[in-house]
Structure 1
Amino acid sequence: MKIVGEKDVLYLKEDLVAYECDGYTMTKGTPKAVVFVKNTEQVSQIVKYLNSVKVPYIARGAGTGLSGGATPLGGEVIISLVRMKKLLHLDLENRKAVVEPGYVNLKLTQSISDKGYYYAPDPSSQYACTIGGNVAENAGGAHCLKYGVTTNHILGLEVVLPNGDIIQLGEEGIPDRPGYDLLGLLTGSEGTLGIVTKITVKVLKNPEGKKTVLAYYDDINDASQAVSDIISAGIIPAALEMMDSTAIEGVEAAAFPVGHPKDIAAFLLIEVDGIAAGIDDQIEEILTVCKNNNVREVKVAKDEAERALWWANRKTGFGAMGAISPDYLVQDGVIPRTRLPEVLAKIGEVSKKYGLRIANIFHAGDGNLHPLVLFDARVPGESERASKAGSECLKVCADAGGSITGEHGVGIEKSAEMRFIFTDEEIESQTNIRSVFNPEDLLNPGKLFPQPGRCAEIKQELKKAEAQ
């Protein structure tokens, strides 16, 4: 309390309830305390103190993460960065901005849009999530197909190491410094290697032209083939999204209904941007591809208001599931685009096996699937069934040559499933890197890598599932 003041520390049980988990609610734990910091020096001093008394700690932003990365497991102290929320420097001539970790993602674009610029990474939670949290999870978003995920937009970081030292990584304006790519290593390390306290990001010039297409399909396989054909035609859309019938049911019951037909199997939301002179030609090619794949109806947004409504409908996708299910579990697998019909069929089999509806919302253009397992935690056994169903969905993705996460991170949710894509030796190599930065594992312990007991449990569950 001497570092930040008594009013900036929470320690009463009733105050700590809000910090028991992040957006992943299947696992909860009570922190020892929550400390609100206002600058890098305070972070450094708190880290040094907690090291001296051997108390584990976690850095936390807005708490919108979907893999339990900010969830306390063993009485950790949470270092909250939400009050470090300034735009520190803006250099539009060199197309970069410097922000504190608590700066909200969407606020950056809103701050510079009138000047003709924007920040490209756009997670669905961008209205609330912080850029510091985006760095920790290497967040993506709908437009990452063309523009890449967070790591592609980071120029520099200020980081407090687990021993309390403050270091600077990257050099402003130099995209590829000689030596090890420590920026790449820290981005996506899920808060296990250091605490980011300042971020230099790229900002982009608004594209000259932008158009959005909405295509309705009676067969999800036709929609999947259209995705592959669009990419095969040499078109790289800014975004290429798909939602199935269950997901559509949810978004139509939520805040921004579009009026999608109730009986369609899937829709594609396709956006192209760039030099204005070439936009119409790309749109015509996309319309032709959609029609060649048995589209029921395909249309181009008539104005910015309609385009914004379509995107608002899509961006409410996760939260909208609350309109049709008391609880849901979000998964985050990645597959090759060409395996989409096969993987969706297998996810359908998982749904039938566990007797739980699974809604599919995904960044179809880059094969990043989001199966949402719908369940009711009030029904005995349903939470456990949902967890097993989610794990099997990730196994399907891994077996198809994909990954267990594309943008949500591993956290505690998928740590055991790391075994689906990494050998013991590969996991050991990664934990050895963590040990260099975080030798006592006091910073965000128990995250990202498998815990022995849970790994054995997962393996037994999968063997039983395969035998059935």
Structure 2
Amino acid sequence: MRKKIFRTNDPHIQALARIVGEEAILFKKEDLIAYDCDGFTVHRHLPKAVVFPKNTEEVAAVVKYCHEHDLPFLARGAGTGLSGGAIPLNGEVVISLVRMKRLISVDLENRRAVVEPGFVNLKLTNSIANRGYYYAPDPSSQYCCTIGGNVAENAGGAHCLKYGVTTNHILGLEVVLPNGEVIEIGENGILDPLGYDLLGLLTGSEGTLGIVTKITVRILKNPEAKQTVLAYFDRVADASQAVSDIISAGMVPAALEMMDQTAIEAVEAAAFPVGHPNDIEALLLIEVDGISAGIDEQIEEILHICRKRNVREVKVAQNEQERAKWWANRKTGFGAMGAISPDYLVQDGVIPRSKLPEVLQQIEQISKKYGLRIANIFHAGDGNLHPLVLFNSEKPGETEKALAAGSECLQACAAVGGSITGEHGVGVEKKEEMRFIFTDDEITAQTNIRDVFNPKNLLNAGKLFPTPGRCVEVKKA
């Protein structure tokens, strides 16, 4: 094979190539198109270049060069983010971390592992499963999303009701600051280190404070037992009330998921159909885990609650194969929308569980207002909603209608005391909606923190915070 000829007159491209190697940089338009967006495809912008460093030293050298020459830059993982956090709005140098994909160490005695940011989420569990351990955060994209990206967005997943989101499982970080300096945060995995909670600050900062190059995570022992329930309801209101009743009964399931009729239509048309009835309004997927003693009693209580709330049918998975099939069906939820719509926009609001019926009714009204179907798939146990607005971008005006509908869904969440994101982040998609829940003074306080880490605002600029001076009014319920 003939060696690729490296030709460019751009001195910055030449300098970056000297850092990472000519084979580890892209700068031609036809190569850059694949990096013009992430999972939020409404906006697209070409980067100046994409570099693929292989270690922390190369990341730091690239960042230092960009800092010294006032070149905007950002980090990118697998590109599965759903809020536009990796879109190069300003022609950034994209620092792709996919080559940094090692599982560095596993410490079973202290229940921790060290990974590079490009290590795929599910691969960690698969790497330690034979020793009886797993990594708890499980976003639907876990088969391809990276742990570095999970840290940036503070990703959650179906089992975050009981086990928490990414920030609850991070014990230490190695971070390249926006000037190229490398720091370590966390004291060798100590659960409550002295001083400010910098781990909490960095986790979920959406790549605006630094670039994570090494991550120490908590790993858990596999539960002794688990059982999974699937319940079909003729009315969304009954399913919603069953969710509240389960939590009110003192149980904390590992997962408590809901899908509405439109979402069920999509997952049944996709890769892992289960045979869900097509005339129900909602289903619940409920999983309980822990020590064997007491699991059966919890399942019986859940079955009783579902029956009390007019469940049409409720069943317990008979084996691991059936359980896995149910979960595969649920995990395809977002991608399955492609089976019933050419385009879709995923939203990510949070509400108090008691407000589920009210907010779902509002979302239905928003759907009618804009003439667009909205499917609902969500982590019902912790009130994390995912309205999926279905549209056709080839029809004039439908993209704008979808964005407006999505924004109104988030406004409905904020109005009942909720939030505009539970796990997908703000990125570029929801930055104006930050005003739904924060005052100007509160936003200024947050940008002041960003400016301490990122004073030149070269790292992932234009994300997370709203445009100064643009006001949004929200009427509280």
Please say whether Structure 1 and Structure 2 have the same fold, judged by a TM-score greater than 0.5: yes
The residue aligned with 1:270 is 286
1:57 paired residue number: 73
Correspondent of 2:190 among 131, 150, 174? 174
Alignment of 1:314-393 (within 5 A): 314-393=330-409
Deviation for aligned residue 1:9: 0.5
Tell me, yes or no, if the aligned pair for 2:162 and 2:253 is still in contact at 8 Å: yes
In 2: Cα distance, 1:325 partner to 1:78 partner = 31
Contact 2:172 2:189 in 1 (8 A): no
Query: Matches of residues 39-188 of structure 1 in structure 2 within 5 Å?
Result: 39-188=55-204
Amino acid at match of 1:38: K
Q: Which amino acid aligns with 2:226?
A: K
Whole-Å separation in 1 of the counterparts to 2:190 and 2:400: 49
Partner SS state of residue 140, structure 1: coil
Q: Give the letter for the 2:152 counterpart.
A: A
- Counterpart check, 1:220 vs 2:212: no
Measured against aligned partners, the alpha-carbon deviations of 1:409-452 in whole angstroms (never above 9, x if no partner) come to 00000000000000000000000000000001000000000023
Match in the other structure for 1:191: 207
Displacement of 1:261 after TM fit?
0.3
Report the equivalent of 1:446.
462
SS of corresponding position for 2:161: helix
Please tell me whether residue 309 in structure 1 is matched to residue 325 in structure 2: yes
Paired residues in the alignment total 460
* Equivalent in 283, 295, 302 of residue 311 of structure 2: 295
Shift of 1:74: 1.4
Letter in 2 for 1:234: G
Distance 1:82 1:179 in 2: 32
Shift of 1:311: 0.1
CA distance in 1, matches of 2:116, 2:194: 26
Residue in 2 that maps onto 1:466: none
Q: Which amino acid aligns with 1:50?
A: C
In structure 2, C-alpha distance between the alignment counterparts of 1:108 and 1:221, rounded to whole Å: 38
Task: List alignment gaps of at least 5 residues for structure 1.
Answer: 464-468
Paired with 1:348 and 1:172, the residues of 2 have a C-alpha distance of 49
RMSD: 1.1
Structure 1 position 173, deviation (Å): 3.4
CA apart distance, 1:194: 0.3
Q: Distance in 2 between matches of 1:45 and 1:16?
A: 22
**C-alpha separation between the residues in 2 aligned to 1:172 and 1:375?**
48
2:27 corresponding residue in structure 1 = 11
Output the CA distance in 2 between the equivalents of 1:172 and 1:94. 11
Give the aligned residue type for 2:297.
Answer: D
Residue 439 of structure 2 corresponds to which residue in structure 1? 423
Equivalents in 2 of 1:220, 1:245: separation in Å? Answer: 9
**What is the CA distance between 1:217 and its match in structure 2?**
0.2
Q: Secondary structure at the match of 2:349?
A: coil
- Cα shift at 1:171: 1.4
Per-residue CA deviations over 1:388-414 (Å, capped at 9, x if unaligned) read 000000000000100000000000000
- The structural deviation recorded for 1:277 is 1.2
Work out whether 1:33 is the aligned partner of 2:49: yes
Q: Aligned AA for 2:253?
A: P
Residue 254 in structure 1 maps to residue 270 in structure 2: yes
Specify the alignment match of 2:260 in structure 1.
244
Give per-residue Cα distances to partners, 1:167-201, cap 9 Å, x unaligned: 00001231001110000000000000000000000
1:52 to partner: Cα distance: 1.1
**Structure 2 residue runs without a partner (length 5+):** 1-16
Deviations 1:126-182 (A, max 9, x none): 000000000000000000000000000000000000010000000123100111000
Amino acid of the structure 1 residue aligned with 2:372: L
TM-score, length-scaled by structure 2 = 0.95
Q: Give the aligned residue type for 1:282.
A: Q
Q: Work out the CA distance in 2 between the residues paired with 1:42 and 1:451.
A: 33
Q: Which residue in 2 is equivalent to 1:203?
A: 219
Matched residues in 2 for 1:12 and 1:88: separation?
A: 33
Percent of pairs identical after alignment?
76
2-side partners of 1:84 and 1:177: how far apart?
27
Does structure 1 retain, via aligned residues, the 8 Å contact 2:189–2:216?
Answer: no
For the residues of structure 2 that align with 1:202 and 1:177, how far apart are their CA atoms?
15
Deviation at 1:377, TM superposition (A): 0.1
